[in-house]
Structure 1
Amino acid sequence: MSGVDWDEDDPFEEQRERVESPMRRLLGEYGRPYWFSVGVGLVSSVLARALDLLPALLLAVAIDAIFGDATFHEQVPLVVLPEAWLPTTEDGQFWFVATAIALSFALGAIFHWLRNWGFNAFSQDVQHDVRTATYDKMQRLDMEFFSNKQTGEMMSVLSNDVNQLERFLNEGMNSATRLVVMVVGITLLLFWLNPQLALVSLAPVPLIAVFTYIFVMKIQPKYAAVRSSVGKVNSRLENNLGGIGVIKSSNTEEFESGRVEDVSQKYFDTNWDAIQLRIKFFPGLQLISGTGFVLTFVIGGYWVFTGSGPGPFTGTLQEGIFVAFILYTQQLVWPMAQFGQVVNMYQRAEASSERIFGLMDEQGRIERDDDADDLEVREGRVEYDRVSFSYDTVDSSDSTDGAETVRDDSGSERIIDDVSFDVDGGETVALVGPTGAGKSTVLKLLLRLYDVDRGTIRIDGQDVRDVSLSSLRQSMGYVGQQSFLFYGTVEENVTYGTFDASREEIIEAAKAAEAHEFIQNLPDGYDTMVGERGVKLSGGQRQRVAIARAVLKDPDILVLDEATSDVDTETEMLIQRSIDDLTENRTTFAIAHRLSTIKDADQILVLEDGSIVERGTHGDLLENDGLYSHLWGVQAGEIDELPQEFIERAQRRQARTEVDVDIDD
């Protein structure tokens, strides 16, 4: 029911496979600037855990010295104090130990606070830097990358995967430090107190190491599958929430609930598979660790009761030392059991960092030269010189632009084929043609949203590939078919890209776009919140705000891609009048299905299947009685007068468009 092919690979698998040592890279690239906070966390954790070990040792001293037969000064050297500092009376000795235990808890609390501050500050700083760096890289990738990835999958990397890193860098590193200090510290103390009994207490450690290694080998691929399934759930939810209006108007809530249930079930199954392994591992690990405690209690207790070591054990074991062994072995059980949790968090973090760095390492087809010269627009002359382009994708259904498939030498699908034309500065050029002819793609090549495969595009003699991307796009104003508005106020959307504009300039731009009057009638005028994607405004209102944005930018070259497609005829007339003023003495490209809006263009290019088949003025093209005149006849309602050949070609084009799923006209 879901329509999702769960046999497909992780959408980031190709990127993940290229990543080497992701955790080392994470700590090296993003952790190094925050060495102070993590240093405070590590040192404080070591000192805090060392102080945690002190009370049991002091208790052993008290039992054997105060309540037993041993003398106090013989026991206290364990904590390395001058004999002159040690009390001689039982009361003094008792309060000495009590004070020492209280001080160890007080100092331990201070170091625990410093430990938590250090690790939390470190993890939050790294998480922030990784998220912002990943987003910055993502937004600079080619449009082709986004056509092959779903929004929910990319959101999963920015949200879930980055959050997994924060958990390991805080809880995981904290627990790992605690584990090392406790295990090493307890091991040294046990061998110091009684090497023979220490071997009994630590006997399960090698078995724990083997058990954990097996767990790591089995859990790693399961976590990679979980990360992938999270992305698919996010993608489905993002798609459905974005299309909630279509769902409601189509009465398909039940159908979509089924699709969400399907992807959620897949995530449940994948995650439950990993959980089942994990919930088997931790109790098993705790059982093995507990074996050491039981053995210590049985052998040590027998040793104390009988006064001599059982079997191969020799010497005596004092009651206080036995109590210390019991306490330390008990303290050892939890860190050993927690070792699995540390490994668990590490594996999750490694799987996430592979996806993050895989995305960061993604290379686009557009080569960016940070040292390139800025574009200098003098006249605004644009030249397309034998330009060809093909989407470098395996699945043509997501990228063919609806154009008839032409294969290049690499086997990719040719979308634009040997297109050449010149535009003098200040001219208005219109691109028309059937749906899927490649019109939008031609102009996206000018903006370098994609790069040409062959040929050259020049602005005033400068190859667009030889100038900086920022200066190229800054010189252009673009109004697309879908007028996207950001969550915020009307004013914030008009000034997007021209952030320092004054209120007077904003109003003038809105008036030029025929938007000022409807904005004034909004509840808060220019301060009205437009909602997510501008949902509180009509399609025509969103389009006029987008045009106002382009007017305010005052670009050298203007690109209008169906800029009035969402407005009624009357509003279109008003906007068209404003656009005429805007395009005067400015190089302008306009795409239109509604041919009446471009009939006054200086030059009209007619595209079909990625090639220019006609060019000229409106009057010239009507006289030619070619594709343009037929399209004009369709819009004039002269259906019965159209030639049969044109109708048959339109049917073939429509069939291809329905199969290919046109993504950008």
Structure 2
Amino acid sequence: MAPAAEDDPFEDVRDQASNPMRRLFVGYGRAYVPYFLIGVLTSMVARVLDLLPPVLLGIAIDSVFREDVPFDARIPFSWLPEAWVPATQTGKFWFTAGVIGLSFLGAAGFHWTRNWGWNAFAQKIQHDVRTDTYDEMQRLDMGFFADKQTGELMSILSNDVNQLERFLNEGMNSALRMGVMVLAIGGVLFSLNWQLALVALLPVPLIAGFTYIFVGIIQPKYAAVRSSVGTLNSRLENNLGGISVIKSANTEPYESERVEDVSFSYFDANWDAIRTRITFFPALRVLAGIGFVTTFTVGGLWVFRGTAPGPFTGTLETGAFVTFILLTQQFIWPMAQFGQIINMYQRARASAERIFGLMDEPNRIAEAPDAQELTVTEGEVVFDSVTFGYEAEPIVEDLSFRAESGDTLALVGPTGAGKSTALKLLLRMYDVDEGAIRIDGQDIRDVTIASLREQIGYVSQDTFLFFGTVAENIGYGVPDPEDEAVIEAAKAAHAHEFITELPEGYDTKVGERGVKLSGGQRQRIAIARAILADPEILILDEATSDVDTETEMLIQRSLQALTADRTTFAIAHRLSTVKDAETIVVLDEGRVVEQGTHEDLLAEGGLYANLWGVQAGEIEDLPETFVERARERLADVPAED
């Protein structure tokens, strides 16, 4: 089990969660106290009504059939007005039968209301916890998501939240049932014969001690199970997302083995917990059975002989003994179920630790308490000595450049130079470690994140489309876009032509992550999305990397109109697409090594000129130092460009 815990990416998160179950009830249960009270009160009434038939059966045996005890001397009939109690034996018989029937009907009604109350309480809390967890999670910085797998996060939002719902519904319902039954049955048994009641309660201390030991053993095992579930989900999600790569690489057997490995780790962790659980529950039954057998033996001898056995005193009627046997069974069963309740509680606690630990995960992108709305008047963007790194090693270092209002600034350089990272800093996907980024003189750390991102349009090289229609994806992020505006944006991105040829046009479903469209089609839809948003600042991160030359030419022409009156940042490996930019900034190993226009940089004969030579096919004319440096860069490319 140790390896599973060590591999748990949320181990540190779990450790941060304090009093998770108390937080669940106080933080979320308080809003739904009425449903909780309905569940509690109706459970109590239903359980009391469940006890009436065996009590009435004992009365009937002693007072109706044998006439050993006066009918109105036995509880609950002793509480009734004398006029309500029939005088004849036949009347008493039918009266008892009627009360038994009404108790069953009443119990059924209260059980329905009990289930409604508990389910409403559990379902509403489940909904709130899941939505709050997702809301907190999506506000975290990108560094958090770089460290966590999607399957692990899905496991928390789905499996862990469902574990809480199960405990809130089934576990708490069973716990209350056990408490009511133990107290009510104990009260009835003591009222009938306190000496025999003590015999029936003999297993209770043993059950309590045995359960205490079980809790200490099972808790770490369930933590390991929750961890292994997340790992399994991550593997399955990863493989399903990359199914086309698996098929094209013919690696189905290899991936089946990897799934088998993580599935077996889950099996191993779960089976370890199951072995502990299935050993504990039968042991509880044995302890509970000891109480029942002892009660039956002592009570049976008492009735059979007509005198109290051993140290006991007094008499025991036959009906009372029958009631004792029937109620002892109902008393012992809840006690044996105590382990199931503890089992559900420990599962829920392990899940609550992960949920609230995730909620409490600190966001490294903190918004200043006095943050103001960003006001873009000119659109001037300045990088002032910006340094940033994920760990100790910086990815970009001492970046300084300026994008004038309405200009296009291109970032170029080898793979891994830090181009995409620099522009994600502008979006505050990450925060700078040193220096500052300013828009019209406003430090982006001093403005609200929402207002910052509202002013910036971002077209990524890794185009993501949501499951839905083409129109929905183009209009994503724009409240209630007009159909005409969506179509105009698609035309500007040269996407209208292929969209109209789709089976249902703009209403065509694009599939998971846009799988039904080609890479070029997905990019044009992403560009149309940015055009529709009409931002003040535009970021094009390899926006035409997946399109053919003709489509690229058409998109570039539409982008010229789009970028004419707004500040634009463009990342491109195809230098021909950015040669007309007002400023070209050349990055290498996270630093600015050159800066100027296309003509100026070619005249310098530096890195940009060499990269241009590569794309112009002038391979033989490249200096050997550049070729050797390219080999070194390819051998050590950072994770983030």
Equivalent in 552, 568, 590 of residue 572 of structure 1:
552
- Cα distance, 1:376–1:290 mapped onto 2, change above 3 Å: same
Out of 43, 46, 54, the position equivalent to 1:45 is 43
Match of 2:631, SS? helix
C-alpha separation between the residues in 2 aligned to 1:421 and 1:518?
Answer: 39
1: CA distance, partners of 2:318 / 2:369 = 74
Show the counterpart of 2:216: 217
8 Å Cα contact 1:488-1:530 kept in structure 2: yes
Cα distance, 1:78 vs structure 2:
5.9
Residue 404 of structure 1 corresponds to: none
User: Which stretch shows the higher mean deviation, 354-363 or 330-339?
Assistant: 330-339
2:25 is matched with: 27
8 Å CA contact 2:407, 2:566 repeated in 1: yes
Shift of 1:372: 2.1
Counterpart residue identity of residue 154, structure 2: M
Q: Which amino acid aligns with 2:15?
A: E
Residue 603 of structure 2 is matched in structure 1 by: 623
Q: Please give the per-residue CA displacement for 1:505-528, whole angstroms capped at 9, x wherever unaligned.
A: 111100110101000111111000
Paired with 1:179 and 1:614, the residues of 2 have a C-alpha distance of: 76
Q: Which amino acid aligns with 1:514?
A: H
Amino-acid identity (%): 66
Residue 441 of structure 2 corresponds to residue 466 of structure 1: no
Say whether the 8 Å CA contact 1:490–1:529 is kept in structure 2. yes
Amino acid at match of 2:334: P
For residues 329 and 7 of structure 1, the distance between their equivalents in structure 2, rounded to whole angstroms, comes to 43
Aligned to 1:57: 55
Task: Quote how far apart the aligned CAs of 1:421 are.
Answer: 1.1
Structure 2 match to 1:237: 236
1:447 is matched by which residue type in structure 2?
L
Q: State how far apart, in whole Å, the 2-side matches of 1:166 and 1:7 are.
A: 24
How many Å apart are 1:311 and its aligned residue? Answer: 0.7
Instruction: Write the deviation string for residues 262-285 of structure 1: whole angstroms up to 9, x where unpaired.
Output: 100110011000011111111111
Whole-angstrom CA distance in 2 between matches of 1:623 and 1:225: 62
Q: Deviations over 1:388-431 (max 9, x none)?
A: 11114xxxxxxxxxxxxxxxxxxx11111111111111010000
2:617 to 637, 657, 660: 637
1:568: how far off? 0.5
Give the corresponding residue for 1:398.
none
Q: Does 1:478 align with 2:458?
A: yes
> SS of the residue aligned with 1:486?
coil
Question: Whole-Å Cα distance in 2 between the matches of residues 514 and 77 of structure 1?
Answer: 84
Task: Please give the alpha-carbon distance, in whole angstroms, between the structure 2 residues aligned to 1:554 and 1:500.
Answer: 15
- CA drift at 1:500: 1.8
Equivalent of residue 568 in structure 2, options 588, 598, 603? 588
> Deviation above 6 Å: which 4+ runs of structure 1?
none
Partner of 1:177: 176
Unaligned runs of at least 5 residues, structure 1: 393-411
- Tell me by how many angstroms 1:38 deviates: 1.3
Residues 653, 6 of structure 1: alpha-carbon distance in 2 compared, 3 angstrom cutoff:
farther
- C-alpha distance in structure 2 between counterparts of 1:145 and 1:77, whole Å: 64
Distance 1:652 1:313, change over 3 A: same
Q: Which amino acid aligns with 2:327?
A: Y
Where does residue 347 of structure 1 map in the other structure? Answer: 346
Relative to the length of structure 2, the TM-score reads 0.98
Partner of 2:629: 649
Amino acid at match of 1:86: V
CA distance in structure 1 between the aligned counterparts of 2:481 and 2:102, rounded to whole angstroms: 63
Name the TM-score, length of structure 1 as normaliser.
0.95
CA separation in 2, counterparts of 1:9 and 1:333?
Answer: 42
SS of residue matched to 2:396: strand
Kindly indicate whether residue 503 of structure 2 is the aligned counterpart of residue 553 of structure 1.
Answer: no
AA aligned to 2:166 is: R
2:257 counterpart residue number? 258
Does the residue aligned with 2:261 lie in a helix, a strand or coil?
Answer: helix
Q: Post-superposition shift, 1:32? A: 1.0
Q: CA deviation at 1:149?
A: 0.2
Contact kept? 2:583, 2:595, Cα under 8 Å: yes
Q: Secondary structure at the match of 1:120?
A: helix
Secondary structure, counterpart of 1:325 in structure 2: helix
How far residue 501 of structure 1 moved from its aligned partner, in angstroms, is: 1.4
Given that 2:139 and 2:363 are in contact with CA atoms closer than 8 Å, whether structure 1 keeps it comes out as: no
* Partners of 2:170 and 2:78 in 1: CA distance: 31
Residues 1:189 and 2:208 are matched in the alignment: no
1:63-113 per-position Cα deviation (integer Å, ceiling 9, x unaligned) = 111122212122245652123321121001111111111111111111000
Answer yes or no: is the 8 Å Cα contact 1:293–1:329 preserved in 2. Answer: yes
Aligned position for 1:99: 98
Q: Show the 5 A alignment for 1:224-623.
A: 224-369=223-368, 372-392=371-391, 412-623=392-603
Q: Measure the CA separation in 2 of the matches of 1:325 and 1:7.
A: 48
Q: CA deviation at 1:504?
A: 0.9
Cα deviation per residue 1:548-575 (whole Å; 9 max; x = unaligned)?
Answer: 0000000000000000000011100110
Shift in Å, 1:371: 5.2
- Residues paired across the two proteins, number: 638
Counterpart of 1:15?
13
CA distance in 1, matches of 2:80, 2:53: 16
| Residue 107 of structure 2: aligned partner | 108
Whole-angstrom CA distance in 1 between matches of 2:199 and 2:141: 62
Change (3 A) 1:478 1:627: same
The 2-side partners of 1:627 and 1:579 are apart by 27
Equivalent position amino acid for 1:111 in 2: F
How far 1:354 moved relative to its partner?
0.5
Q: Within 2, Cα distance between the matches of 1:564 and 1:587?
A: 18
Matches within 5 A, 1:86-165: 86-165=85-164
Name the SS for the 1:66 alignment partner. Answer: helix
Contact 2:579 2:598 in 1 (8 A): yes
Q: Is the 8 A contact 2:199 2:295 kept in 1?
A: yes
**1:370 deviation in Å?**
6.3
Measure the CA separation in 2 of the matches of 1:81 and 1:23: 44
**SS at the partner of 1:437?**
coil
CA distance in 2 between counterparts of 1:462 and 1:570 reads: 40
Q: Which amino acid aligns with 2:593?
A: V
1:370 and 1:468 in contact (8 A); partners too:
no
